[in-house]
Each structure stands twice: as structure tokens, then as C-alpha cells.
């Protein structure tokens, strides 16, 4: 129970179905440690108060679980490391993988509870022909969260329930108001929970004690055209905030963290047809044996795009899109879909140039 309306209604629906329920909130950080306010973040002190009040109203036991040390190790430090290596992290996916559906499942089994229940908008079904558990999109396309859940294993899917998958957000709001939940009209949390003001570099400098040095902006020919404020501050595809006095619009096309350079170029340079993905988690199929034609999305809000999936060495895969994709970013997730079913997903680790051989 994150303190939001979705997880509150998930608890209500499970109790209505006759399940014996226990509410839990993961304490992942302390606000004072991050210099964060109490509102509009996930798992803040205010969220804990709201979750506790809803649990009391539903007459279910409630407990706060302190996972601050694990969160720092598994989520925050990986977040910082990915940026320092030139990638763009997705901490919400890592939190689902290492915290919600790992630590919480261990806690559930230790208390003789059979399922984890969350307020995600997604669905889980079992394929009677293959025996595999299938992850599917939520029926509310605008709220579907299957993209951030691609890392769920068969074991985790077998012990997870998403009661909101068949509902729209509007229906959930109405349900919460009918039950007079304190958070019925509470805003959804949209920021990275430990960086509520959006200044991720400021957070990184505060957390690590480092100061990220300035370096050179260069064009695609390697010519210096300006000075940047630290390569970690820029993401692939960024246009605003570059401060470069150039006549044409330019975008961040590449970063070299060792040389501390940021390459800028025209919008055409952002597009790529091929993407390499590692650390694949297969859901609807046990693995990839040959080429597969499905659809894929490289960002949470992106519409799925037609793609051919080919196996590479070391369990990696190559995605070859029918149409060039704008700004694929190393560190982000690539998730494969067959209709509304998640085939699998992994982490983008390379964006080959045209003509480059991939093995």
C-alpha cells in the first residue's frame, strides 16, 4: 500500500473477494535523508499515514517494512552508476524487480501469505496450453503499466494479483470516493520518488559528495563548439538547456563519459533502426530460438512499433525496426508485445550504426 488511491482500492477489492489481507508499505528512504518534502512522492511519510488510515478503515493489519538499506544498494546506487556510465536509468523498473516483487514476496511467504497484490494497471493470466503465466496490458490504455513490469518471473507472476487490470482510472477514483478513502482525490505520483524536484544531478552530487566537471560540446566531426556543465546532466535527444549559440536546432546525440564530451547534431542523427538488448526476461515464451516478429516499445509512453527480433551471443537480442526510432537510450527498457501480451523485455545496451555488424 503506497498511500495512493490505486493500492487502496486493490486492498478493498481483495477484501471484498474474501481474501485474508495484510497491508504493507515499504519504507524505501527517509525524507530528511534526501531533503525531500512529504508530498507528491511515493512511500513518503505522508503516504505512510494515508496507507495506515485506509488499512484501519478496511480493518486489516498493517505494517511498515524498512527496506532503506536495500533500496540504497539496489536502486539508488545503480541509478547513479548508470548515469555516470552515460546511460539513462529507469529506477521504477528496478524497484519493481528488486523491491516490490522480491523483498515483498519473501515477506509474504514468511507470514504464510500466498500473494502480493499491488495497484498496477496490468493483468496476469495462465496459458493453459503452455502452463506459463502471461502478463497482459491493463484495459485502460492510458494507465497501462505492463512496460514497467516486464521483469516479473514466472514464480513472481504465479504469486501476484493485479485487481485493477480490468478497471479504468475513472472507475477506481469513483470506487475510492464511494468508500470515502482519504486519498480518493490524491494526485498520482509522477516523479522519481527520491528525486521529487526533478534535479537528479543535484541529488547525485548531494548523495555522492562529487561535483561533475564541465567539458566540451562537440559536433559530429569532433570539433569543439562550446562548454557543457557536466556530461551526466544531458540525455540523448535533449534540445533545451544546451546554451549553444547555433543557428539550427541541435540535439544531444551521444556522450563519451571517459572524455567527458557531449556530441550534438541535427534531429536526423537521433534516429536508429537497430537496438541491442541484454538481460532479457522472457514471459510468454521460454526463450528465443530464431527470428521473431512482434512489436516493441523503447519508452514508457511510446506506442509499440513493428520489429524483427534476432538472437545474439550471450543471450542478447537485436531489434530491427521497420521504421527508424527516435533517440533509443542505453539503460532504458525495450519491451516486446504480441497484441496486449508482454512477450518479454530487457535493457538497451547498444545502438549500432548503419552497416555495423552485430553478433
pLDDT, average across residues 166-195? 89
109 near 315, Cβ under 8 Å?
A: no
Give the pLDDT of residue 38: 45
255 in the same domain as 288: no
Number of domains into which the chain is organized: 3
- CA 145/CA 136 separation, integer angstroms: 9
Is 62 in the same domain as 126? yes
Q: Do 288 and 334 belong together in one domain?
A: yes
Task: Evaluate whether 342 touches 135 at the Cβ level (below 8 Å).
Answer: yes
Enter the C-alpha cell of residue 213: 566537471
As a whole number of angstroms, the distance between CA 262 and CA 272 comes to 18
pTM of the model: 0.92
219 and 336 assigned to the same domain? no
pLDDT band for 356, please (50, 70, 90 cuts): confident
| 204 labeled binding residue | no
Tell me whether residue 200 is in a domain: no
User: Is residue 192 situated within a structural domain?
Assistant: no
CA atoms of 183 and 254, how far apart (whole Å): 43
* From 9, 43, 95, 253, the catalytic residue: 95
Q: Report yes or no on 16 lying in a domain.
A: yes
**CATH number assigned to the domain comprising residue 327:** 2.40.30.10
Query: Domain range for residue 94?
Result: 5-178
Tens digits of residue pLDDT in 234-277: 999 999 889 888 778 899 999 999 999 999 999 999 999 999 99
- Say yes or no: 222 and 165 in one domain: no
Q: Which among 163, 178, 193 is the end of a domain?
A: 178
Round to whole Å and give the CA distance between 237 and 282.
Answer: 29
Mean local confidence (pLDDT), 329-341: 96
Q: Cite the beta strand spans of the chain per DSSP E.
A: 23-27, 62-66, 116-117, 122-126, 133-137, 160-161, 215-218, 224-228, 251-256, 261-265, 271-282, 292-297, 305-311, 317-326, 333-338, 341-350
Complete DSSP assignment for 213-267 = PPEEEE-TTS-EEEEES-GGG--TT--TT-----SS--EEEEEETTTTEEEEE-G
Domain boundary among 178, 200, 225: 178
pLDDT at 331 over 50: yes
Domain endpoint, select from 156, 178, 200: 178
pLDDT one-digit tens code per residue, 137-161:
999 999 999 999 999 999 999 999 9
pLDDT digits (tens, 9 = 90+) for 13-69: 999 999 999 999 999 887 655 554 444 455 567 889 999 999 999 999 999 999 999
For residue 148, the tally of other CB atoms under 10 A from its CB is 20
CB 300, CB 250: distance < 8 Å: no
CATH code for position 90:
3.40.50.620
In tens, the pLDDT along 265-322 reads: 999 999 999 999 999 999 999 999 899 999 999 999 899 999 999 999 999 999 999 9
pLDDT of 195-236, one tens digit each? Answer: 878 899 999 999 999 999 999 999 999 999 999 999 999 999
Q: CA-to-CA distance for 71 and 82, rounded, in angstroms?
A: 15
Question: Which residues are 166's β-sheet partners?
Answer: none
Name 29's Cβ contacts closer than 8 Å, sequence gap at least 6: 36, 43, 68, 71, 72, 76, 193, 194
| Euclidean distance between CA atoms 291 and 301, whole angstroms | 26
The answer to whether position 127 is within a domain reads: yes
**Are 227 and 254 in the same domain?**
yes
* Helices first, then strands: H and E counts in the chain: 10, 16
For the segment 95-107, what is each residue's pLDDT rounded down to a tens digit?
A: 998 888 999 999 9
Return d(Cα 245, Cα 253) in angstroms, integer: 17
Closest CA to 55 of 8, 10, 117, 5: 8
252 and 275 inside one domain: no
pLDDT of residue 82 exceeding 80: yes
190 falls within a domain: no
For residues 128 and 29, state if they share a domain.
yes
Q: How many CB atoms lie within 10 A of CB 268?
A: 10
Residue 246, annotated ligand binder? no
| Domain match, 309 and 288 both | yes
Q: Is residue 196 part of a domain?
A: no
Assigned domain for 199 exists: no
State the CATH number of the domain containing residue 254: 2.30.30.280
Is 92 among the residues known to form the active site?
no
Q: What is the pLDDT of residue 303?
A: 94
Considering the domain architecture, whether residues 168 and 299 belong to the same structural domain is answered as no
Contacts (Cβ under 8 Å, ≥6 apart) of 281 = 150, 151, 152, 153, 344, 345, 346
21 is catalytic: no
Among the listed residues 42, 92, 193, 253, the single catalytic one is: 193
**35 with 173, same domain?**
yes
The cell for 317 is 537480442
Asked whether 101 and 160 are in contact (CB, 8 A), the reply is: yes
Q: Are residues 171 and 122 in the same domain?
A: yes
Q: Considering the domain boundaries, does residue 357 fall inside one?
A: no
Amino acid at each position: 500500500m503506497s498511500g495512493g488511491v490505486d493500492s487502496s482500492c486493490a486492498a478493498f477489492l481483495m477484501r471484498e473477494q474474501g481474501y485474508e489481507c495484510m497491508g504493507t508499505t515499504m519504507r524505501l528512504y527517509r525524507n530528511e535523508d534526501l531533503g525531500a518534502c512529504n508530498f507528491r512522492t511515493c512511500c513518503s511519510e505522508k503516504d505512510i499515514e494515508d496507507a495506515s488510515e485506509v488499512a484501519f478503515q478496511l480493518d486489516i493489519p498493517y505494517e511498515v517494512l524498512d527496506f532503506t538499506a536495500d533500496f540504497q544498494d539496489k536502486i539508488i546506487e545503480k541509478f547513479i552508476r548508470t548515469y555516470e556510465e552515460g546511460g539513462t536509468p529507469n529506477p521504477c523498473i528496478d524497484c519493481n524487480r528488486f523491491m516490490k516483487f522480491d523483498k515483498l514476496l519473501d515477506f509474504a511467504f514468511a507470514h504464510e501469505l500466498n500473494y502480493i497484490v499491488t495497484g498496477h494497471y496490468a493483468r496476469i493470466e495462465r496459458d493453459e496450453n503452455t502452463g506459463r503465466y502471461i502478463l497482459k496490458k491493463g484495459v485502460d490504455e492510458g494507465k497501462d503499466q505492463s512496460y514497467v513490469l516486464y521483469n516479473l518471473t514466472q514464480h513472481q507472476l504465479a504469486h501476484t494479483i493485479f485487481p485493477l487490470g480490468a478497471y479504468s482510472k475513472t472507475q477506481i477514483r469513483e470506487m475510492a470516493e464511494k468508500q470515502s478513502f482519504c486519498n480518493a482525490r490524491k494526485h498520482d505520483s509522477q516523479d522519481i520518488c527520491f528525486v521529487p524536484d526533478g534535479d537528479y544531478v543535484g541529488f547525485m552530487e548531494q548523495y555522492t559528495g562529487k561535483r561533475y566537471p564541465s567539458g566540451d560540446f562537440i559536433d559530429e566531426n569532433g570539433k569543439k563548439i562550446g562548454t557543457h556543465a557536466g556530461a551526466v546532466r544531458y540525455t540523448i535527444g535533449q534540445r533545451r538547456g544546451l546554451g549553444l549559440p547555433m543557428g539550427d536546432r541541435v540535439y544531444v546525440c551521444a556522450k563519451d563519459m571517459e572524455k567527458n564530451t557531449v556530441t550534438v547534431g541535427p534531429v536526423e542523427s537521433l534516429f536508429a533502426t537497430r537496438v541491442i538488448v541484454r538481460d532479457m526476461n522472457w514471459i510468454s515464451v521460454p526463450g528465443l530460438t530464431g527470428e521473431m516478429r512482434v512489436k516493441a516499445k523503447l519508452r514508457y509512453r511510446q506506442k509499440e512499433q513493428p520489429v524483427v527480433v534476432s538472437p545474439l551471443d550471450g543471450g542478447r537480442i537485436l531489434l530491427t525496426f521497420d521504421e527508424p526510432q527516435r533517440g533509443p537510450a542505453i539503460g532504458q527498457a525495450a519491451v516486446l508485445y504480441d497484441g496486449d501480451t508482454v512477450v518479454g523485455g530487457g535493457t538497451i545496451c547498444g545502438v549500432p550504426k548503419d552497416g555495423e555488424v552485430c553478433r
